[in-house]
């Protein structure tokens, strides 16, 4: 489950805590954007889904099976894009907001939903913006702590 991932406030998304080792980087700009980290032997996908190269960004983390890591390592182009979508679909996710200067500020755990295929559509982008607003509201209300806001964001995730 993705909720096993330890995240330290102000850490960078590709190194969310001291217990994490960066295993693979598949995409980078001036820092890693997509890759695999390992914590306690468990592999987690990290992926910047919105705002890469900007002051604020939205990241997603998912616990992977060994076969999924192998698939990501062996594919390129459209096949890699599909492997990435598959790795983010139908499972519990951690969605986090990060600031370029301050790192991870707050995050939520989202129950399994078919999130990834819709992210490329206008509807998916609008749903993501609503989710970011829900995250910001939660942060304003509760501060930068771990949030499990399933009830608040359930209807914001595209089906």
- Give the integer Cα–Cα distance in Å for 93 and 111: 7
Q: Tell which wins on pLDDT, 58 or 64.
A: 64
Residue range 94-152, pLDDT digits in tens: 988 888 888 898 888 887 654 444 555 566 666 666 666 666 565 555 554 434 444 44
Q: To which residue do tokens 């990241």 refer?
A: 59
Do the domain assignments include residue 19? yes
Residue 90 pLDDT greater than 90, yes or no: no
Does residue 47 carry a pLDDT above 90? Answer: yes
Across 8-25, average pLDDT:
94
Q: Locate tokens 């001036």: which residue?
A: 30
Residue 128 belongs to some domain of the structure? yes
User: Is 103 a member of any domain?
Assistant: yes
What does each C-alpha distance from 66 to 21, 42, 44, 63, 97 come to in angstroms? Answer: 16, 9, 10, 10, 27
pLDDT digits (tens, 9 = 90+) for 134-147: 665 655 555 544 34
- In a domain, residue 89? The reply is yes
Is 109 within the bounds of a domain? yes
The domain containing residue 138 runs over which residues? 2-151
What mean pLDDT is reported for the chain?
Answer: 78
- Look at residue 156 and tell me if it is in a domain: no
Label residue 21 by pLDDT band (50, 70, 90): very high
Burial 104-123 (b: 16+ CB within 10 A, else e): bbbbbbbeebebbebbeeee
Tell me whether residue 157 is in a domain: no
- Structural domain count, the chain: 1
> Which residue would you say has higher pLDDT here, 151 or 46?
46
Asked if residue 54 belongs to a domain, the reply is yes
């Amino acid at each position: 489950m993705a909720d096993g991932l330890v995240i330290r406030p102000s850490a960078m998304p590709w190194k969310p805590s001291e217990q994490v080792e960066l295993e693979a980087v598949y995409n980078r700009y001036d820092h890693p954007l997509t890759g695999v980290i390992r914590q306690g032997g468990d592999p987690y996908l990290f992926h910047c889904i919105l705002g890469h190269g900007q002051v604020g960004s939205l990241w997603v983390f998912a616990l992977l099976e060994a076969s999924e890591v192998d698939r990501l390592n062996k594919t390129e182009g459209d096949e890699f894009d599909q492997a990435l979508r598959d790795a983010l679909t139908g499972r519990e996710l951690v969605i986090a907001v990060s600031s370029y200067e301050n790192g991870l500020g707050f995050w939520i755990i989202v129950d399994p939903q078919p999130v990834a295929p819709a992210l490329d559509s206008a509807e998916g982008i609008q749903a993501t913006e609503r989710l970011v607003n829900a995250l910001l509201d939660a942060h304003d209300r509760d501060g930068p702590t771990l949030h499990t806001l399933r009830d608040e964001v359930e209807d914001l995730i595209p089906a």
